[in-house]
Every structure is written in structure tokens, then in C-alpha cells.
A and B are shown apart, each in its own frame.
Chain A
Amino acid sequence: MIWIVLFAWLQQPANADRGKRAFMEYYCYSCHGTDGQGGAGPRLVVGESPDRLIRYVRKPTGGNMPAYTSKSISDEDLRAIHAYLRSIKPSPPANAIPLLQK
């Protein structure tokens, strides 16, 4: 069990690094910002499992997001992107940023 947890932990950064590369290569950042903070598209907030993200990317509901088939991006790359988005450090809240109080 310990080995399984350790293995998963060791895998996570690698996936996140690969996910960041994929996030940039597939131009996800162009609508959602390099840290998924949003831009022309909405901020990206993902849950624990990548399945929901994959389902959404394959068949988006509402908004301007085009549907990506597996020909355009693989499930594996989407899992890596999920890992990257999960790895992003949360931003400070607005009330902790003096410049946003003006």
C-alpha cells in the first residue's frame, strides 16, 4: 500500500509537467490563461477525477468552447492537463490584495 501511494505521488509532478506542456501546446491557455485563471474563456476549476473534464471537453455545454474529439486531443493528454490544473497553487483572495480594495 505504501509503495502504491509513493508511486502515485512520484507520478503526480511528472503528469502535471506534461499537462502544462499540453495545456500550452493545445492552446488551452489562449482562452483560459496560463494558470487557468480565465480570459476570453472562463476560469478553469476541476474536481478530483479527470473524467468530468474529459466529458466536458468532448461535449461542452454552453459558451464558446468547441468540442474536441480524440483526434484533436487524446484522453491521456486531458488527464495530464487535469493533473496540471490540480497542481496550480490557489491565488490569494481579493480581500488579501490591497490594490483590489481601491
Chain B
Amino acid sequence: MVDVLKSLGFEYCFSNPANTFRSLHESLINYGNNTAPEFITCTHEEIATAMAHGYAKIEGKPALVVLHGTVGTQHASMAVYDAFCDRVPVYLVLGNHLDAEGRRTPVTWFHSARDAAAVIRDFTKWDDTPISLGHFAESAVRAYKLAMTPPMMPVAVVADAHLQEHGVEEAASLRVPRLGALAPPQGDAGAVNELARMLVAAENPVLVADKLARTPDGLARFVALAEALQCAVIDRKGRMNFPTRHPLDQSNRAAAALADADLIVGFEVSDFASVRSRRSGAKRVTITAGDLFTRSNYQDFQRYPEADVAIAGDGEATLPTLIESVRRLTTSDRRLLFADRGKQLAALHEEALAQAREAAAVGWDSSPISTARLCMETYAQVSDLDWSLVADVIFMQNWPLRLWSMDKHYHYIGGPGGYGVGYGAPAAVGAALANRKHGRITVNFQYDGDLMFAPGCLWTAAHHKIPMLTLMHNNRAYHQEVMEVQRMAVEHGRNATRAHIGTKIEDPPIDFAKLAQSMGVYAEGPISDPKDLAPAITRALNVVKRGEPALVDVLTQPR
């Protein structure tokens, strides 16, 4: 089993130890010498899986996650769902005792299942329960191949305890199947050529991307397409698809940019139904590998996206053909028109950036500290370094996306996918681990409610010396729910002063600095005066530069 797993090139194995895979665990660390993969000790299976999720978004390939039978897989399930919705490859191996004769104790029975992967089958791409070592080898390689073929998703292979623990017979002729190079599916060539013709002919086309750029090439190709057309781009930042300061980037004025579009092209946009122009007769085209796969139970596929042309294929893989066709079809007359369009868009980009800065200035000196101030105090200290922002920032008004200059694929990795709370902290640690060998400074804005789901990941960061700067966005509440309950009270015509019940996390307030310190992480705070923020970030950043995690607890505005 270890030979097979090593052949797949895993760097890390994220896991919480358990006896349904005790043999595999021991083999990984001794027979496998605890390298490629290296065992990363996690304090919860949800943490292990979310770490692999964050890791994959930086590194572009899956990590190994080994889970306990039944209970461990149940713990992991929310994080598996997040990765599934986020179209991220995570490679799960589940321990299990299929053969009742091998169940040594009553507890082993609790931790065994006839179909161990059933609990996560609705939100994995593929799973198998091999019953021989040869079968395991084949299924393990097949699982990797399927996970890495767009649309990328989690996969699971059950490692039966009997197979793990019984020696390989001397006469057995076992081999590890070869993985080979994987080529992602491109959109149909005829449809892509027709799209190029539509793009060149359009007066005001808008390119919208969400989970498009799987690799650095994806970002570079998307820039090339936009520049060939000199057209508007809206980056929804499910991945880092387009530089935030590129003159064609219109994400800070997305609604205005879309309003007059005569052609909208969605690249790996899962909720394309919500992307609308006000212009009558505007055409709509989608390119997504999402059309190649879906499950029916969980409704992550979103509202049906009406489109004039729906191209089933991977967006990033389809871009080279599309760019080539656009360049070939562009006449000199159109090129002149494109240049004028590009100049107008550049001016609108600058105007929108100035408006975002003005909005950020309002409440600059507020206490609790404004999320814009937190964001920009941090940026001031990392912008000259090689940094990577690994946090979802939707609950801080997306300030980094609106104000930071981002132009590398690791400058932002998108959100949790399925919006399951508890993703943030462990995914950030996993991403930070992937960034470590590149020497990048990992930055994490951490929601307080999210950290309380899985705080044990801080211990993993300290134990494995994973450098990461965490700035708490501590509004002492499950704030979305404060607003939701408040709204319900008002709509029901009832008392509008009780929305704190069940939603606030303030009596007693959580001391996140002490929490982090208790697990060996440098930490300070809480900080409520904005003047104290910069020196605290400097001190924490110095710790991170030494190769360790650090946390600054910041009391913030609700959003």
C-alpha cells in the first residue's frame, strides 16, 4: 500500500491516528521512512481534510488524508463536502474492518461498516473498496487519476484492515499501475471557434471567471485572452484568475460592467444564472467542466444557467484554443476599436479603485477596528514580501480583493466552496504548509466563529513549524446569524433587541491569544485601538519570518 501511495507523489499525509489504519500508519512512518508522504498530526479529521483542501489550492495536487473507519469519516464529512463544492482534489483513504472475523473488540465493530465510503459518496467523485492488494493498487491509481481530471473532486479508497495487516505472500506478483500524464478535457473546437467569432464581433463583451485558474498558467492565459480583446473582466475570485490592478479588471464595478454587456462569457462560474446583463438580446456562453459531472442529492450545482452556448470542458484547458482563434479572427479595424475600449475600461478601473479607497477611509479610526483598516495595516507590512493570502474574505467586505494588488496565483485561493463553517483555519494551515517550501509569507484573516470549530489546527501549525500570520477578525459573534435573527424579529413585528441570544460569543469573551499560546503559537491581543495594530503585526510577522505561526487577536467591526 505504501509503495502505491508513494508512486502517486504525495508530499503529506494529514491524519488523526486511529486503529482501523494502525498498520498503514506504522508502514508509512517506518517502511516509508515518513517522507513523501510525511505524516502531519491533526487533532480532528475535519481539520485533516480541510488542511488537504487548502494545500491542494496552493500546490495544484492532492494530499493524502487517512481517516478512521465510520466515526473519523463522519468527522471529516463536512470538510469533504466543502472540497467537493470547491472542485478541489482531496485523496481520502478510509480504514475499515470489512471481515467480521478481524474485529477484535466491541469498539472495532462500532468502527466498521459494510460500505465505509457510503457516508461521503454523495459528495465524492469516486470511491472503491478493494479486496486484494492488487485491487487496492489499481483502485488507488484510478482514484488519483479521477481526482485530478477536471472537474476535480475528492475521492476515497477503503484500506481494509485485513489487507493492511497481513503480510504480502512471497509468491505474490504485485505491481503498481502507472499513472501517466493527464490531459484535461477541452471544449469542442467548433464551439470554441464560434465563441471566438462572437467575442471579436461583440461591442461590449464581459469575461467572468470564478474557479477558472487551476494553475499559474490559467491566470496567464486569462490575461492573454482579455488583452487580445481589450474587454472587461470580472473575477469572482473562486481562484486567483486575474490581477486585481490590471486596467481591464472591472471587479470593483461588476454590476455596472455587466449592465451594458452584449456578450457574457462565464469561465467555470457555478452560479452563472445570477450573472445578468440589462441589455436586451445579450448573448450568454458558459465554459465549464461542471457540465461533465454532477450528483443529484446535494444542490451545489446552483440554478440552471441559461446560455446560448454551453461548452462542456475545462476552462483553463480551453483557453489556448480560444485565444488563438480570437487572435486569428481579429482584423486591424477591430484591433483599433479594442484599443479604444481598453482605454475607457482602464479609466473606469481607476475610478472604481478610488471609490473603494474612499469607502475604506470611512470609519478608519473606529474602535472596534474597521475591517478595511485591519486589511490595509496588514498589507502595508507584507506587500513588499512574497506573500500569499489564504483566507476567505467575504465577511470582511472583500477588502483585500478590492484594495490589494494581487497578480500571482497564490495571492488568493478563494473560499470554502460549500460555506461549511470550520474550513477557514485548517485550510489556511494546509495552504501555509504548501507555501512553506516556497518561502512565502502566508497571511490568514481568521473569523472567530470559524476558529472555534477547529482550533486544534493551531497546535498542528506549531508542532510542524508551519509559518503563518493570522489576524483575527474577532467580532465576537456568529455575525451573519445576528443579522438573520434580527431580520426575522423585524419581519415578524417582534422585539428587535434580542438578536444576541444564541448568536453572540462574548460572555465570557474568548481570549484567542491565550488559546493560541496554549498550543505553542506566538500570540497577542485582543487589540481594539487601531493605533496598536501596526506594532503588533510587526512583532507577529517577525515570528513568522523565523518559520513559526503567529496570531494577533483584533477586535473588529461586524463586517
Contact = CB atoms under 8 A, between A and B. Distances in A.
Contacts of A62: none
Contacts of A96: 361
Contacts of B357: 94, 100-101
B364 A92 contact: yes
Number of chain B interface residues as a range: 35 or more
A34 B365 CA distance: 12
Contact of B496 (A37, A64, A73): A73
Interface string B525-556: 00000000000000000000000000000000
B483 A31 contact: yes
Contact of A99 (B376, B482, B557, B558): B376
Interface string B464-492: 00000000000000010011001101110
A30 B368 contact: no
Interface in A32-63: 33-35, 37-40, 43
Given A37-B370, A39-B559, A30 B483 contact: yes
B183 interface: no
A71 B361 contact: no
A41 to B, nearest CB: 9
Nearest to A29: B558
Nearest to B378: A99
Q: Which one of A30, A38, A64 has the greatest number of beta carbons of chain B within 10 Å?
A: A30
B502 interface: no
A33 B496 contact: no
A29 B364 CA distance: 16
A50 B499 CA distance: 25
B354 interface: yes
Given A67-B490, A72-B496, A91 B362 contact: yes
A34 B376 CA distance: 19
Chain A interface helix/strand/loop/mixed? loop
Contacts of B361: 91-94, 96-97, 100
Contact of A102 (B354, B366, B376): B376
Interface in B366-404: 366, 368, 370-371, 376-377, 379-380, 383, 397, 403
Contact of B491 (A27, A30, A66, A100): A66
B358 interface: yes
Q: Which one of B360, B383, B496 has the greatest number of beta carbons of chain A within 10 Å?
A: B496
A30 B366 contact: no
Name the 10 nearest CB pairs between A and B, nearest first: A37-B363, A39-B559, A94-B357, A94-B361, A66-B490, A37-B362, A99-B376, A72-B496, A27-B486, A100-B357
Interface of A: 25-27, 29-31, 33-35, 37-40, 43, 64, 66-69, 71-73, 91-94, 96-97, 99-102
Given A33-B559, A35-B363, A39-B397, 7 more contacts: A30-B499, A34-B368, A38-B363, A72-B494, A94-B357, A97-B361, A100-B376
Interface of B: 354, 357-366, 368, 370-371, 376-377, 379-380, 383, 397, 403, 405, 479, 482-483, 486-487, 489-491, 493-497, 499, 557-559
7 contacts: A33-B366, A34-B368, A38-B362, A73-B496, A100-B360, A101-B357, A102-B405
